[in-house]
Structures are given as C-alpha cells and as structure tokens.
Amino acid sequence: MKINAVIFDMDGVIFDTEKLAKESWHLVEKEFGVPVGEDFMTMLLGMSHTGILDVYAKYFGDYELGCKIYNWRKAFMTDTIEQNGVPVKQGVRELFAYLKEAGLPMALATSSYRPNYERLFRVTGLENPFSAVVTGDTLEHSKPDPEIFLRAARGLNVPIKECLIIEDSYNGIFGGSAAGAVTVMVPDMVQPTPEVRAKAYAICDSLLDIIPLIKKINQGK
C-alpha cells in the first residue's frame, strides 16, 4: 500500500467552523423556541445540503419551519464568517507544505456548497493547494455515500485505494471507507465510536500526526 494523494474534508478539518455551527443551533433554540438534540447535530455533520430541507422538516415536524430554520442558520453562518473570519485548524499549513514538497497532489471533498468553500479561503487568506475540488452542490448523493470521494480521486487521476482521506465526521469516515480509501479521522466535535474505529485506518489527534503516518505507510512499515 502506498499513499499517492490526499483528499481533505473542509469544515472541522481545515477550518474551525463546526463550533460556530453548533453555536448556531443553540441560537435556533432561542430564536424559534424548538429543542435541538445533540444526536441531530451529530447526524448532520458531513452531510451536504442535498435533501437537507426534508431532514429538517422531518425533525422539526413542519416543512415551512424547517425552511425558515435552514435560511436563518445559513444567513447567520455567512454573516458571522464575513464579519469575524474563522480560525484555521492546527497543522493545516504544515501539512499542506509537506504534501506539496513530497509531490503528493491534494483534493478537497466538502459537503459545503462552492460559495462557502470560496468564502472560507478568501476570508482566511489560506493558500488553496487543491488540484481538484468537489463541493456539495454538485453531488447526487451526500456522505456517507462514497460519491464525493470517488469523484475527487478521479479529479486527481489517482486510484481511490492510493488516496488518504482526512475526515472529522462519522458520515465522512463511513463514506471514505466505502470508497475504498485509506480513511483517517482527526476528531473535532465528535469522538470516534467503536463502529467508526472499525472503519478508520487510524485516529489522529491533529493534522500534524498525518505527516509521520504517511511516511510510515509509504516506507512500508
């Protein structure tokens, strides 16, 4: 086994946006007077917006209310990021630099829509190193379906089994594993369950741990 490319998730892996997303749900509870459970928040991690209104409608019991909450959260997230920016996760710049020096191409596989992806790189000023980008608004199926990862690998012209995927969500880990990639979890808002550990090649504390992991794999150790 050898790693010849790396595919990144974005929210919670490159940018520290998941905490803001969780804050938005607590504000939804106050704004709309509805309870939002932790299990529901966890279920949404890694999902694209494809079909999300149906998910909201089912959870809140009303399609119109689900639409209002969706639009309110979207506006809140957009305005807050534009005004305050968002932190870049620890180890991002170092990992980008290592992969670039090692000649390993990178792809982005994010459930966020393209305007969100472009906004985050613009407001943070982070270098965009990706040779291929797949965003949620181009997908037929959301994570945990492997579609997004298979398309990212094709965009790099690298077999999926030679790709290492970095994810922070359960949906992402299940999707990466189903795709046949070497899938690594760097936990952010949720910790790995036994089911997730069974699907992940490794659990790393930070992106900095990915560098020695790739070296170890490619040295056949």
pLDDT-derived band at 55 (thresholds 50, 70, 90) equals: confident
- Residues 205 and 112 placed together within one structural domain of the fold: yes
* pLDDT score of 45: 77
pLDDT exceeds cutoff 70 at 50: no
* pLDDT score of 28: 93
How many domains does one find in the chain? Answer: 2
Domain boundary, last residue among 37, 62, 84: 84
What number is the average pLDDT over the span 122-140? 95
* pLDDT score of 60: 92
Which tens digits make up the pLDDT trace of 15-46?
999 888 889 999 999 999 999 988 888 887 76
| Range in 48-52, 164-168, 175-179, 208-212 with the lowest mean pLDDT | 48-52
- Residues 10 and 97 placed together within one structural domain of the fold: yes
Hunting for tokens 């089911």 — which residue is that? Answer: 195
Report the alpha-carbon distance of residue 12 to residue 167 in Å, rounded. Answer: 8
Which of 175, 199, 179, 216 shows the shortest CA–CA distance to 2? 216
Report the alpha-carbon distance of residue 25 to residue 69 in Å, rounded. Answer: 9
Domain boundary, last residue among 84, 115, 141: 84
What number is the average pLDDT over the span 38-60? 81
In what helix (H) or strand (E) does residue 5 lie, and over which residues does it extend? strand 5-8
Domain boundary, last residue among 59, 84, 109: 84
- Residues 128 and 211 placed together within one structural domain of the fold: yes
- Residues 96 and 65 placed together within one structural domain of the fold: no
Instruction: Report percent pLDDT > 90 for the chain.
Output: 78
Sign of CA dihedral 128, 131, 137, 140: negative
- Residues 50 and 155 placed together within one structural domain of the fold: no
Report the alpha-carbon distance of residue 56 to residue 126 in Å, rounded. Answer: 32
- Residues 45 and 139 placed together within one structural domain of the fold: no
pLDDT exceeds cutoff 90 at 166: yes
* pLDDT score of 42: 83
What number is the average pLDDT over the span 188-215? 97
- Residues 59 and 112 placed together within one structural domain of the fold: no
Mean pLDDT (the chain, rounded): 93
- Residues 74 and 164 placed together within one structural domain of the fold: no
Domain span including residue 35: 18-84
- Residues 48 and 101 placed together within one structural domain of the fold: no
* pLDDT score of 188: 93
- Residues 25 and 130 placed together within one structural domain of the fold: no
Report the alpha-carbon distance of residue 30 to residue 76 in Å, rounded. Answer: 14
* pLDDT score of 22: 87
pLDDT-derived band at 202 (thresholds 50, 70, 90) equals: very high
pLDDT exceeds cutoff 90 at 1: no
pTM of the model: 0.90
pLDDT exceeds cutoff 70 at 157: yes
- Residues 26 and 112 placed together within one structural domain of the fold: no
- Residues 121 and 30 placed together within one structural domain of the fold: no
Which residues make beta-bridge pairs with 183? 165
CATH of the domain at 10: 3.40.50.1000
